[in-house]
Chain A
């Protein structure tokens, strides 16, 4: 069973739309959670951490549901520059290992 599972998409949305991505994780001992962004042929870059109480960074809102073991990312007022692959990441704790989902592809259309 995969540690982290995401819907691969693709999600094609018009500019200004709101889009939500979900991911699930299998290890209940997971301690830290993140969303990364990866542009085509580039390295993954940390977008935001995900806290139990939920957190917001501008147009981006992340939520964590420990009981159901899922993480979500909401992007409001989508911009063309938001087009990328969004990776859900979980840290198990042991050895400080980060496990990555396969990513969800987003294309924002003019």
Chain B
């Protein structure tokens, strides 16, 4: 079982560059999430989706965009990367609020 797959695992961006973090799940979960985790901090919700075609902002959406054209995929787009976006990004999916969320292995992004 692949579960939640994120690519790339590591990336270094220059200030002002753009990139897309890929996330795919093969569990047929309707709910998907993007979180960022800064050192010593908890996970902050960036965006989430309750199903294909539906997305909504979380706690820290500024500087990011998402799309959800299929149930399986939930890419996160960074436009005009800034040093403040240096973080570890986790994608997660969930079948139900009662069953918790399952995470990908994360993408470590450094903006220099």
* A contact set with B: CB distance below 8 Å: 4, 8, 31-32, 34, 36, 42-46, 49, 87, 89, 91, 93, 95-103
A-B contact count (CB 8 A): 58
Q: Across the interface, do A89 and B100 meet the contact criterion of CB distance under 8 Å?
A: yes
Known: A96-B31, A98-B33. A49 touches B98 (CB 8 A): yes
Decide if B75 is an interface residue (CB 8 Å cutoff). Answer: no
Chain B hits for A42, CB < 8 A: 105-106
Contact with A along B54-66 (1 / 0, CB 8 A): 0010100000000
Partner among B48, B100, B104, B105 whose Cβ is within 8 Å of the Cβ of A95: B48
Sample 17 A-B pairs with CB under 8 A, ordered by A number.
Answer: A32-B97, A43-B103, A44-B43, A46-B100, A49-B99, A49-B100, A89-B100, A95-B50, A96-B50, A97-B33, A97-B45, A98-B94, A98-B100, A99-B45, A100-B43, A101-B42, A102-B40
Whether the Cβ atoms of A31 and B97 lie closer than 8 Å is yes
Evaluate contact between B45 and A45: CB separation under 8 angstroms: no
How far does the alpha carbon of A42 sit from the alpha carbon of B94 in the complex, in Å?
A: 19
What per-residue 1/0 map shows which CB atoms of B84-110 lie under 8 Å from chain A? 000000101010111111111110000
Most buried by A among B41, B97, B102, B104: B97
Q: Which residues of A contact B50 (CB under 8 A)?
A: 95-96
Quick one: closest B residue to A48, CB to CB? Answer: B100
- The residues in B between 19 and 51 inclusive whose CB is less than 8 angstroms from any CB of A are 31, 33, 35, 40-43, 45, 48, 50
Q: By the criterion CB–CB under 8 Å, are A96 and B100 in contact?
A: no
Interface centre among A31, A42, A43 (most CB of B within 10 A): A43
- In the complex, what residue of chain A is closest to B104 when comparing beta carbons? A43
Q: Smallest CB–CB gap between B48 and chain A, Å?
A: 6
State the 3 A-B residue pairs at the shortest beta-carbon distance, nearest first.
A102-B42, A43-B103, A100-B43
